[in-house]
Amino acid sequence: MKRLSSLLLVLVLTVLQGPAPAVAQEAPRYVLAIHGGAGTITRDAMTPELEEAYHDALREALEAGHRILSAGGSSLDAVVATIQVMEASPLFNAGVGAVFTSEGTVEHDASIMDGRTRDAGAVSGLKHIESPIALARSVMEQSPHVMLSGAGAERFAEEQGFQKVPNEHFHTDRRRRQLERAQEAERGTGPTGDAALTPDDREADAHRFGTVGAVALDRDGNLAAGTSTGGMTNKRFGRVGDSPIIGAGTYADNETAAISSTGHGEFFIRGVVAYDIAAMMRYAGLDLTAAANAVVMGRLGDLGGTGGVIALDRHGNVAAPFNTPGMYRGWIDAEGNVEIFIYRH
């Protein structure tokens, strides 16, 4: 009976998960997987033009990382290059186009982890650094610390030769309108219904989250994971989500998996989601898909958390479970085969 119910659970989780990601591979081969955020992303809230723009941006990001991996570069280099493409794109909630805090500023968080050494670097509350993921890597490689925040992180960036940019560099009208609507809704003064919204605005609202993340396996069999975000619309200034928290938003260990999370950060912190997946693999002997499903569709959901992850093991298997209607996601294998998905089905 117990066995029957576990089989049923696995069946239900498999159906819920949507299109199955990459196939199992025997020898270590390089693979890269990305997400561009999870949320109430539905076909109704999308136009063909916007959908195409997302596909193009996700493909461009995957190809940037793939170029590095195919030339024999490291998974860390691939993760940074991939995320930088998404940080530069106004479509995603990272770098340019990140969401606004309640004060009308942009504050970025990011983290990175090297699965070979389990070294990690993280930054939070940045206002002037063009590529938060690059600074997270610098913290990992050039400082004795794992996480630097706010003014201290920005001073470290200057010392490391990073150019500072004005906060306005990251601002977009679409995100400003999203903040205004969130604040009107909070005050109860917003227009009801979304008939008056442009498709772009509707998509921005549906896409409540929108962090970007990448996980990679290189030719040497090393895993790496990275995550970069503006956090959540209308967050209090100073709020820090899961994305820069090692074990919640990002985790990588060659012996288990590389994981990047996206969703309602407070729940991902409380659920220690990325590490929980690795721990299920390490201590309970679950495979990647079973571990990722159990955590995202089970334990995270039980807490009331919404979102998803991309996860990659050392054999090149990819899992991408999410418990929201959609998650921007894609992967590319050693042959350059690209798959990109937005919705559940």
Residues near ligand ASP (CB under 6 A): 37, 93, 209-211, 229, 231-232, 241-243, 262-265, 268
DSSP 43-90: GGG--HHHHHHHHHHHHHHHHHHHHHHHTT--HHHHHHHHHHHHHH-T
Of 230, 216, 174, which Cα lies nearest the Cα of 50?
A: 174
Q: Residue 90 or residue 221: which is nearer to ligand ASP going by CB?
A: 90
Q: Residue 99 or residue 140: which is nearer to ligand ASP going by CB?
A: 99
Of 165, 127, 157, which Cα lies nearest the Cα of 139?
A: 157
Pairing type for strands 120-126 and 147-149 reads parallel
Name the minimum Å distance from CB 232 to ligand ASP: 5
Quote the radius of gyration of the chain (alpha carbons, Å). Answer: 19
Q: Residue 130 or residue 242: which is nearer to ligand ASP going by CB?
A: 242
Name the minimum Å distance from CB 173 to ligand ASP: 20
Q: Residue 274 or residue 286: which is nearer to ligand ASP going by CB?
A: 274
The rounded distance, in Å, linking the Cα atoms of 40 and 45 is 9
Enumerate residues 6+ apart whose C-beta is below 8 A from 301: 323
End-to-end, the C-alpha distance of the chain in Å comes to 31
Name the minimum Å distance from CB 316 to ligand ASP: 25
Q: Residue 162 or residue 209: which is nearer to ligand ASP going by CB?
A: 209
Active site residues per annotation: 211
Q: Residue 111 or residue 317: which is nearer to ligand ASP going by CB?
A: 111
Q: Which residue has 């670097």 as its token pair? A: 121
How many Cβ atoms are within 10 Å of 22's Cβ, its own excluded? 18
Amino acid at residue number 277:
I
Residue 121: strand, helix, or coil: strand
Q: Which two tokens stand for residue 321?
A: 């479970």
Q: How far lies 117's CA from each of 76, 120, 275, in Å?
A: 12, 9, 16
**Spacing of C-alpha 228 from chain mean position:** 7
Enumerate residues 6+ apart whose C-beta is below 8 A from 117: none
Q: Which two tokens stand for residue 34?
A: 């990305």
Q: Residue 92 or residue 162: which is nearer to ligand ASP going by CB?
A: 92
Dihedral sign for Cα 43, 40, 243, 247, please: negative
Name the minimum Å distance from CB 175 to ligand ASP: 13
